[in-house]
Amino acid sequence: MLDNYSRNINYLRLSITDRCNLRCFYCLPRQGWVKLPAREILSYEEMLRLSRVAVQVGIRKIRVTGGEPLVRRGVAPFLEQLHRIRGLEKICLTTNGVLLAEMAADLYRIGLRHINVSLDTLKPERYVEITGSDQLAVVLAGLEKAAALGFHPIKINFVVLRGINEDEVVDFALFSRENPFQVRFIEFMPTVSREKWSSHFLPMSVVRQRLKVLGEPQPVARIATAGPAQIVRLPNYRGELGFIQAVSEHHCPSCNRLRLTADGRLRPCLFQAQEVDLKGPLRWGAGDEELGLIFRKAVALKGLGHRFASPATPLDCRPMVSIGG
């Protein structure tokens, strides 16, 4: 699907729940956030139908996210059905990894191979501070199990937080020397509060500078459905490093994504409040063609840039937990 700026929109991020088993301070607001009533959340059948329509209109890659997708009952059979959609070239899952050790074998069996695991520290006490839960050991066990089973690629999402985990930037890079993981350094985005963001935002230029002690990185070529990360490789590393600088450098000119929230709303841009309802028409009996037109309408609404880093821009983003990142 080409948008008004000739970008090919072929990537859908599908949030299957707004529930999460962690409480990361930068993702889930401590106050004022209300879970969706169950009836508002799309059923798996509804999501599968919308995914088929999405493929008909040009989506080639779907990332299943949340909330925490692995807390939704029936996620493995759902993913299995998703893998049966003809024309869908790539299916990925983003998880916090807490349930990965127990679910990895099932997920592998149904055909899933691409996973992203969010992990912001390798220090147990700090893990509790960031997430509100003492789960680092199980997440690491999940990563080990996933690697042993043969998941590939395994990507680690590391949100760099000034004054909190910035001292672990090199440790995380080294983690990808010892393991076949792609460690992705992500700039903290102002989605929960501007104050928190101002206190903890660290530009990617600083991260890259700190990594220079490890040697000269070699860029890795992009593939067509790839996201915004710039990927590099260091000599003799088993894994790779990725940089996602969503704040300090716009990825918008190469954005290829749409987001579908768990309550069935298409979001053309992470940082614009504007959404297009799909659930209403779906539940009122719209046909595939009509639903396809709604996808196209959302694509036509995609803007060319965002200004969310500017203090003058109102914070009109839903928290990440209810969009899916």
Interface residues toward ligand SAM, by CB under 6 A: 20, 26-27, 65-66, 68, 94-96, 118, 157, 159, 186, 188-189, 191, 320-321, 324-325
Write down the least CB distance from residue 224 to ligand SAM, Å. 23
User: Looking at beta carbons only, is 268 or 324 nearer to ligand SAM?
Assistant: 324
Write down the least CB distance from residue 12 to ligand SAM, Å. 15
User: Looking at beta carbons only, is 57 or 192 nearer to ligand SAM?
Assistant: 192
User: Looking at beta carbons only, is 66 or 268 nearer to ligand SAM?
Assistant: 66
Write down the least CB distance from residue 131 to ligand SAM, Å. 9
Strand partners, 231: 242
d(CA 49, CA 285): 12
Residue with tokens 């008004």: 4
Are 91 and 64 contacting, i.e. CB atoms less than 8 angstroms apart? Answer: yes
Write down the least CB distance from residue 165 to ligand SAM, Å. 11
User: Looking at beta carbons only, is 186 or 301 nearer to ligand SAM?
Assistant: 186
- What is the layout of strands, in order, in the sheet containing 265-267? 218-219, 230-233, 240-244, 181-187, 154-160, 114-118, 90-95, 61-65, 11-15, 257-260, 265-267, 276-277
Task: Report phi then psi at 291, rounded to 5.
Answer: -65, -40
User: Looking at beta carbons only, is 26 or 78 nearer to ligand SAM?
Assistant: 26
Write down the least CB distance from residue 27 to ligand SAM, Å. 4
Q: Which two tokens stand for residue 285?
A: 């009996």
User: Looking at beta carbons only, is 10 or 94 nearer to ligand SAM?
Assistant: 94
User: Looking at beta carbons only, is 247 or 294 nearer to ligand SAM?
Assistant: 247
Pairing of strands 240-244, 230-233: antiparallel
Write down the least CB distance from residue 315 to ligand SAM, Å. 11
Are 63 and 225 contacting, i.e. CB atoms less than 8 angstroms apart? Answer: no
Write down the least CB distance from residue 18 to ligand SAM, Å. 10
Residue number closest to ligand SAM, CB atom: 325
Strand partners, 230: 243
> Which residues, including other chains, have CB under 8 Å from residue 276's CB and lie 6 or more apart?
265, 266, 267, 268, 294, 297, 298, 301
3-class DSSP string for 127-144: HHHHHCCCCHHHHHHHHH
